[in-house]
Amino acid sequence: MYRYDAIDRQLINERVDQFRDQVRRWQAGELTDDEFRPLRLQNGLYIQRHAPMFRIAVPYGMMNAAQLRQLAQVARKYDRGYGHFTTRHNLQLNWPKVTDVPDILAELAEVDMHAIQTSGNCLRNITTDQFAGVAADEIIDPRPLAEILRQWTTFHPEFAFLPRKFKIAISGTKEDRAVTWFHDIGLHLKVVDGVVGFTVIVGGGLGRTPIRGQVVRDFLPWQHILGYCEAILRVYNRFGRRDNAYKARIKILVQALGVEEFSKLVEAEWAHLKDGPATITQAEYDRVAAHFTAPAYTPDAAVGAGFTAKMAAEKAFARWVDRNTHAHKVPGYAAVTLSLKQHGIAPGDITSDQMDSVADLADRYSFGELRISHEQNIILADVRQSDLYEVWQQAKAAGLATPNIGLLTGIICCPGGDFCDLANAKSIPIANAIQQRFDDLDYLFDIGEIDLNISGCMNACGHHHVGHIGVLGVDKNNDEFYQVTLGGRQGNEAKLGKVIGPSFSAGEMPDVVEKIIQVYLENRHPDERFLDTLDRIGIDPFKNRVYEGRAHGKAKTAAKEAA
Amino acid sequence: MSQLIKQAAITVDTWKTLETGPEEAAETIALPAGDVIFPLAVWLARKNEIISCHKRIGLLLQPDERVEDVADDLDYFVVIAVNFPKFVDGRGYTTASLLRQRYHYQGELRAVGDILHDQLYYLKRVGFDAWALKDGKNPDYAVSAGFTTFSDAYQASTDQPEPYFRRRA
């Protein structure tokens, strides 16, 4: 992975000094709360329901064991011994003191970590595929360009006060695993006539107004990506709405202008910037790419007789291998997903002790590196198949081997009303209640692949719109209710789920999910996944079952009137 | 009276900004004598008149006013002031970038309005060289610490047109 050099380190150290000074002046009354707010937000610091919430960046999801140990240490020292991995390659602490944050930043800087631009109306953390560099279906490794983009976004002077937040995702695989269709800028790496470049997608996003992004340029040679992003950001910075925060994302501008007119503005701006100093040099690409070379894979890593025998003998191990390992481009290796979706624990939460265990596993079995996925799990990307059994046993002992990746209980979930000030409703208890209902592993495996996503409000941090089953917390007369969508999905065919009808109380949610699952099980053809059956039969059978016996719409009004 | 920072010092501002009230039209407002910063609408309506009776001319641009509309006039201006009604409105950073990088404006580029210590570094990077620090803020501290927050930068901008990767040894 990328190792900081003198300049990278100097800049994050200067950032620590800057923020320490800002906190000092805020405490001394020299900075008002309003003046301090954007400054702390651009260092990942929110003031939240119970305490500040502090968001640490894991740029494009890559981390080494030493960094994770430092996160464990920070969470122990300044928080309550745990953290929460978000859907955008960040670790959140829920209980730090504002006045401790400069010290936390200093300790993070010791291991080349920071919280730069993890919130606020600025260029945010770059995200990518958690299997970058090892995926069997990879076309181009996105990490060198992700790092070059990270540097470009860091302290960009022109775009520090945008109309609203701005998120860039980059994918280099056939199957998009970076939700690129739902980012402000989504970048697909591809090769056309032997030239490496990007398809540039703009104006996607979830949140209050979920919109799929649109292609602004079908092919842009890789050298030009900084200049082209600069052109997009310039158009957005000038013309994006600033009168209404709900209409300020670039997706609204793209919708208002139409993608053709928007593209014209970008191309006109780009004409001035093309081939300028921002053009990436081959030397710079090679310098950065040299940090992402393949580790020293061994040829004897392939499946041994022991592995096959253990798979046959231990069903639990076989299940874990089935769900929690992913194809690797090097024969004999696998990418292991450590599940942060243990039943009964808030999805994405991890204790400091578990972080230490993961760091040990990474050191022992995966070249000392790991990744964070947008599904809120941890990946050991380079594990020898002959080591899988040991990894499984140790992960199991640490509570990190729940075999539910891609299954119903591998829920993606935001912190929700238990922690977040924006939330309309709690999300973690809903996730836990559903996990409890589907706690039987045979049943869970029989149900098969299904994405369940829960967000506590329309800001959609739990990406509910792209869940096969999406759950959205809503506020109805100060009571918490949950709206259900079906048919959303990420990937190349990414689309938004459809709302099935009126919302439900928290207590009803496990039953609602169970009814949806029953309809699927009754109707599925052999080898059909949930989504296949849903696409074939449509949402009506699901709706009818869920609302069976429930007065709603006209019937509900009539019932009310009768009463 | 805001505190003007120029060339790493606190200076006396000799310029007046023409304020147009809601009742006053750009076409008819009286043009004061001396060093005056004119709103864009007044400049566009009274260009010839202003040129004929002012040796030194200043222009005021609001966040939503387009640099393109004065691109051919830039040689007339000794000062261009870019207003930041709120410091979180970042449009003025692009205004400055365009003036300096695309139209090669060489005169004084002044940030006015809600100008605070913590934005000075970015404002300098995009090409401002004068800052009307908001009243009540500490100008000495701004001069001594506000412009040197970071010792270098990754990306190209007005004050450093080469990105760091092109300057690596």
What are B24-49's pLDDT values in tens digits? 899 999 999 999 999 999 999 999 99
| Cβ-nearest to B118 among A15, A22, A283 | A22
- The answer to whether residue A443 is domain-embedded is yes
- Are residues A66 and A72 in contact, defined by beta-carbon separation less than 8 angstroms? no
Query: A330 and A459 in one domain?
Result: no
pLDDT at A551: 66
Give the whole-angstrom CA distance, residue A403 versus residue A318: 10
| Residue A20 structure tokens | 């320490």
Query: A140 and A78 in one domain?
Result: no
Query: A388 and A250 in one domain?
Result: no
Q: How far apart are the CA of A232 and the nearest CA of chain B, in angstroms?
A: 12
Is B83 within 8 Å of chain A by CB? no
| Region at A242 (left for phi over 0; alpha for psi -120 to 50; beta for the rest) | alpha
**A-to-B residue pairs, Cβ atoms closer than 8 angstroms:** 102
Within 8 A of A6 by CB-CB distance, chain B residues are: none
Q: How far apart are the CA of A156 and the nearest CA of chain B, in angstroms?
A: 7
Please state whether beta strands B130-133 and B3-6 pair in parallel, antiparallel, or not at all (unpaired): antiparallel
A216: containing domain = 127-290
Query: A470 and A370 in one domain?
Result: no
Within 8 A of A238 by CB-CB distance, chain B residues are: 91, 94
Within 8 A of B168 by CB-CB distance, chain A residues are: 284, 287
Assign residue A71 the CATH number of its domain: 3.90.480.20
Which mean pLDDT values do the consecutive 10-residue runs of chain A (563 residues) have?
A: 96 98 96 96 85 92 97 97 93 92 98 97 95 92 97 98 97 92 96 96 93 97 98 98 96 97 98 97 97 90 79 95 94 95 92 98 97 95 95 97 95 90 92 95 95 94 95 92 96 93 95 97 96 97 93 62 64
Number of domains, chain B: 1
Q: How far apart are the CA of B70 and the nearest CA of chain A, in angstroms?
A: 16
| Cβ-nearest to B116 among A35, A156, A160 | A35
Number of domains, chain A: 4
Query: A206 and A158 in one domain?
Result: yes
Query: A343 and A215 in one domain?
Result: no
Within 8 A of B163 by CB-CB distance, chain A residues are: 152, 226, 277-278
Q: For residue B60, what pLDDT band results from cuts at 50, 70 and 90?
A: very high
**Closest by alpha carbon to A240, among A164, A155, A153?**
A164
| Residue A118 structure tokens | 């993890």
Sequence-separated (6 or more) residues with CB below 8 Å from residue B45: B26, B27
- The answer to whether residue A151 is domain-embedded is yes
Within 8 A of A162 by CB-CB distance, chain B residues are: 90
Within 8 A of A43 by CB-CB distance, chain B residues are: none
Query: A30 to chain B: nearest residue by CA?
Result: B137
Give the whole-angstrom CA distance, residue A164 versus residue A36: 17
Query: Is B118 in Cβ contact with A161 (below 8 Å)?
Result: no
Tell me the pLDDT tens digit for each residue of A1-42: 999 999 999 999 999 999 999 999 999 999 999 999 999 999
- The answer to whether residue A159 is domain-embedded is yes
Please count the residues of chain A: 563
Q: How far apart are the CA of B34 and the nearest CA of chain A, in angstroms?
A: 33
Query: Is B89 in Cβ contact with A161 (below 8 Å)?
Result: yes
- Are residues A468 and A452 in contact, defined by beta-carbon separation less than 8 angstroms? yes
Query: A191 and A258 in one domain?
Result: yes
Sequence-separated (6 or more) residues with CB below 8 Å from residue A328: A134, A135, A136, A334, A335, A381, A382
Residue in the block written with tokens 């200093």: A106
- A-interface mutation test, from B134, B140, B155, B166, most A Cβ less than 10 A away: B155
Q: How far apart are the CA of B28 and the nearest CA of chain A, in angstroms?
A: 30
| Cβ-nearest to A155 among B88, B137, B153 | B153
pLDDT at A478: 87
What residues form DSSP beta bridges with A272? none
| Residue A548 structure tokens | 């069976």
Q: Which amino acid is at A524?
A: R
Q: How far apart are the CA of A122 and the nearest CA of chain B, in angstroms?
A: 10
Query: Is A287 in Cβ contact with B168 (below 8 Å)?
Result: yes
Residues of A at the B interface, defined by Cβ within 8 angstroms:
7, 10-11, 14-15, 18, 21-22, 25, 30-31, 35, 38-39, 121, 148, 151-152, 154-162, 226, 234, 237-238, 242, 272, 276-278, 280-281, 283-284, 287
ipTM over 0.85: yes
Query: B159 to chain A: nearest residue by CA?
Result: A157
Assign residue A454 the CATH number of its domain: 3.30.413.10
- The answer to whether residue A295 is domain-embedded is no
pLDDT at A555: 59
Query: A256 and A140 in one domain?
Result: yes
- The answer to whether residue A533 is domain-embedded is yes
Tell me the pLDDT tens digit for each residue of B74-104: 999 999 999 999 999 999 999 999 999 999 9
Tell me the pLDDT tens digit for each residue of B112-127: 999 999 999 999 999 9
B130: containing domain = 3-168
Query: B147 to chain A: nearest residue by CA?
Result: A18
Query: A504 and A458 in one domain?
Result: yes
Q: What single string gives the DSSP state of each residue in A396-462?
A: HHTT---S-TTSTTS-EE--GGGT-SS-SS--HHHHHHHHHHT--HHHHHHH----EEEESSTT-TT
Query: A284 and A226 in one domain?
Result: yes
pLDDT at A48: 67
Q: pTM for the complete prediction? A: 0.93
Query: Is A284 in Cβ contact with B165 (below 8 Å)?
Result: yes
- The answer to whether residue A207 is domain-embedded is yes
- The answer to whether residue A114 is domain-embedded is no
Is B62 within 8 Å of chain A by CB? no
Q: For residue B169, what pLDDT band results from cuts at 50, 70 and 90?
A: confident
Query: A252 and A308 in one domain?
Result: no
Q: How far apart are the CA of A198 and the nearest CA of chain B, in angstroms?
A: 21
pLDDT at B61: 98
Give the whole-angstrom CA distance, residue A82 versus residue A357: 13
| Cβ-nearest to B94 among A11, A152, A238 | A238
pLDDT at B21: 86
**Closest by alpha carbon to B84, among B44, B41, B128?**
B128
Is B71 within 8 Å of chain A by CB? no
Q: How far apart are the CA of A96 and the nearest CA of chain B, in angstroms?
A: 24
Which strands, in side-by-side order, build the sheet including A333-338? A62-64, A369-372, A378-384, A333-338, A325-327
Rounded to an integer, the average pLDDT of B42-64 is: 97
Give the whole-angstrom CA distance, residue A359 versus residue A65: 4
Tell me the pLDDT tens digit for each residue of A457-479: 998 999 999 999 999 999 988 89
Query: A232 and A170 in one domain?
Result: yes
